[in-house]
Amino acid sequence: MMRQHKEYSNVNVFESARRPLTSSFLADLAVLGVAFVWGASYPVAKGALFYAPVLILILYRFLITTIVMAVAARHEIASISWGDCIRGIVLGTILFSIFVAETYGIASTSAMNTALIISLCVIFTPVIDYGLSGRLPPTGIVASAAVSCIGVGILTGGIGKFSPGDALVVGAAILRAIMAVSTKRLLAGRPISSAALTAIQGSAVATLTCVLAVAQSGIHGLIVNATFQFWGAVAFLSLFCTIAAFYIQNAAVRKSTPTRVGFLMGTEPFFGFVLAHLLLTESLTATGLIGAGLILAGTFTGIFFESRT
């Protein structure tokens, strides 16, 4: 009887040890899934722009996001303070600027370039964070940023061939970094839920986009006579790249570590680079591959040094 009890106990210990490993493995797979989906968003958005202009794509993407998140977070939204609401609107305005720059950039450059250049936000974020704190970034982060910037120069063919679309994507990467730092500073210790924050940010993006679109093309410009491909792209970008990815990433962080999640999310530009070639048949060149390799190397090295500070 004692032996049976001991064996049963050993089984329990084995099962309890295996569950965290399985849970962590599934969390890692989920984060890789998010990176894959976000990587796919660049060629999908590029394809959608064949059927509708930039502002219309952004408008309907965030209109769907706002409706879904507002319903999901209706109780949290009803109880948030005006101060937190204003913070959400400020962050939503930054998010609006990101998507305008990024989507106009995609329209003017390749999806490959967009996926790789936007990854510079991983390098820009600690640089801006250290700068606002009045400190110099560690040498490793500065070196990683230099390697990534050299990679961008090679990828785009140098300053002389640096297109306006590439410049817009660099601006979007800087804005993403500003967004990350601003979110950390504005929401530190605040009780607002992530779901409510997403709904407020989405409503700010949708409202600002609608105002800008009406100013450009009038109210009739909001009407889209597009194909199933466009609406399928909008649904994918809204439901998978914004809502589902947001929840999966937050859930994964609870089962893993921020550093591990950061490394896994660093695969996003790789997926974007590969999928742009497969889905849009964008050409691969030796120079482009060297530039891509330097950007990815700088990004992963920057994540490594940032995690050690």
Which residues lie closer than 8 Å to 115 by C-beta, 6 or more apart? 39, 42, 268, 269, 271, 272, 273, 276
In angstroms, what CA-CA distances link 254 with 120, 199, 262? 26, 22, 13
What distance in Å separates the CA atoms of residue 67 and residue 57, rounded to the nearest whole number?
A: 16
CB of 195 closer than 8 Å to CB of 88: no
Return the closest-CA partner of residue 209 out of 105, 108, 101, 107.
101
Contact partners, residue 156, CB within 8 Å, separation at least 6: 113, 117, 162, 163, 166, 291
Residues 273 and 292 sit within 8 Å (Cβ to Cβ): yes
- Report CA 253 to chain centroid distance, whole Å: 15
Residue segments in the chain with a per-residue pLDDT below the cut of 70: 1-25, 156-161, 249-267, 306-307, 309
pTM score: 0.76
How confident is the model at residue 146, as a pLDDT? 82
164-186 vs 121-132: helix crossing angle, rounded to 10: 50
SS3 256: coil
Alpha-carbon torsion angle 171, 177, 179, 184, nearest 10 = -170
The predicted structure's pLDDT at residue 187:
75
The domain segmentation of the chain, as residue ranges, is 33-307
Q: How many CB atoms lie within 10 A of CB 25?
A: 12
pLDDT score for 132: 78
What whole-number distance in Å separates Cα of residue 141 and Cα of residue 35? 22
